[in-house]
Amino acid sequence: MLVDNEVCERVLGEALKRGGEFAEIFVEDRRATSARYDEGRVEELTSGRDRGAGIRVIVGESTGFAHTADLSEAGLLEAAKGAATAVGRGAAATKSVGRLVEQRASNRSSSTNKATLPETIDKGAKIALLQRADAAAREVSGAIQSVSVSYADSRRKIQIANSDGLSTGDDRVRTRFMVQCVASGDTGMQTGMEAPGRGMGFEFFNDFEVESIARTAAERSVSLLSAVPAPSGQMAVVLKRGAGGVLFHEACGHGLEADLVQRDASVFKDRIGTQVASELVTVIDDGTFAREWGTYDIDDEGQAAQRNVLIENGVLTDYMWDLVRARKSGRASSGNGRRETYRHLPMVRMTNTFLPAGDTDPDAIIRDTQYGIYCVQLGGGQVDTATGDFVFGVTEGYLIENGEITRPIRAAQLVGNGPQTMTLVDAVGNDFETWTGTCGKSGQGVPVSSGQPTLRVARMTVGGTAS
């Protein structure tokens, strides 16, 4: 426990003194290490620690918020006064704070229970991983001109207490490894990247071999040297397992977050119970999913992580909810209240969002596609959640011709509309893979994963440069 419950009770009482209806303390202690190896030398090796607390007070539709790096009782009381004053009515407290009783989520064991904690591993062992990956990438081809390898780990302890009597916490460990390669050839410089991450400690490297990660990144950059300009127009698009997860995360997932729905910024508003996708499409957001990048025991408001079915067989069944919006709507939170650090207010955010596997052999999906593109990896993109319109860059893709994957393509973009794209899914594979990333929203970034089996969109607009 980062702050004693008795101290939390007094701080919450102070937060309610000016007429607050709800008060909450979020305490955080975060450690992180990162290392980067470029061109045969260590360019960066950093470690850091950040501790503090954010205090939120709610009165009606107004929220007061203050944060402090001072975790003494005096520091917390001062922050509570600041948050209360920001929205206070100047009235005496009408609500008292009940006795805080510590609660633990029972979804799964804390990620630290079986973890080899990153802080127990010598930095030399971490540097050795970077060197091994650098060597493996360079062995792939003489065309490899530069290699950048990065390692990152974090441990985040949190504690949440609120005026409803909740007292709980979580201990989260994450590890990620990234290799980026640049290859040079007749078509210029081409870049390939691979960057898996999981909610686990140094045992991550029992599941992921650094040489394999490096070879994947290197081979990706080399393959692009023989890429032809991407075609343009409407055509079938087959998304390799994992590759399209980010597309559905951005183009559909954000539109299913209750705060955007309530602000009329979602194309899915007022559509619960209606068909919004092909019957082959089910979309799930699951904060309890394995050791994925977005997994936790509790969210950043102390609510248990859950498996939430958002779309089932094409029918919209629910949105994602944080605690405050759920209370106002007379329902339970879905465990999707998240914040970047103690300096930020929580908001509705995705965790691990995915389309589960179907029944079709992925190879059969390719054989059944006469012409189109096969997307292996997507890059950055833009989405308008109010309309569902999106544009995504393809960082690795291939032509499909007469049911076979043929030549690699470059400079391709996928242009479409999220809901419309989901209605055009006509084949779903029996495989599955996830993608690891950071989701940005309203200036905050949080770790998430997305995933899907190999699937085909019957037609999508591809923007390319082929004449």
- What digits encode the pLDDT tens for the residues 36-55? 999 889 999 999 999 999 99
Q: What are the backbone angles phi and psi of residue 457, rounded to the nearest 5°?
A: -100, 120
Tokens linked to 278: 């092909």
The answer to whether 384 and 399 have CB atoms below 8 angstroms apart is: no
Q: Which residue has the higher pLDDT, 67 or 251?
A: 67
Find all residues with CB under 8 Å of 92, minimum gap 6, and list them: 17, 19
Tokens linked to 239: 């998304």
Give the residue among 37, 60, 16 at the shortest CA–CA distance from 163: 16
pLDDT exceeds cutoff 60 at 312:
yes
CA–CA gap between residue 286 and residue 451 (Å, rounded): 11
The answer to whether 246 and 273 have CB atoms below 8 angstroms apart is: no
pLDDT tens digit string along 265-284?
999 999 999 999 999 999 99
pLDDT tens digit string along 394-444?
999 999 999 999 999 988 999 999 999 999 999 999 999 999 999 999 999
Which whole-number Å values give the CA distances from 465 to 93, 227, 228, 412, 413, in the listed order? 65, 12, 9, 8, 10
pLDDT exceeds cutoff 70 at 356:
yes
pLDDT of residue 118: 87
Q: Which residues pair with 24 in a beta bridge?
A: 56, 162
Q: How many residues does the chain have?
A: 467
Q: pTM for the whole thing?
A: 0.94
pLDDT tens digit string along 70-81?
999 999 999 999
User: Residue ranges of the domains in the chain?
Assistant: 229-463
Which whole-number Å values give the CA distances from 293 to 74, 199, 257, 308, 436, in the listed order? 36, 5, 19, 17, 6
Tokens linked to 264: 């009329």
The answer to whether 157 and 170 have CB atoms below 8 angstroms apart is: yes
Four-CA torsion 247, 249, 254, 255, nearest 10 degrees: 60
Q: What is the mean pLDDT of the chain?
A: 93
Tokens linked to 411: 């400079």
The bridge status of strand 101-103 relative to strand 166-185 is parallel
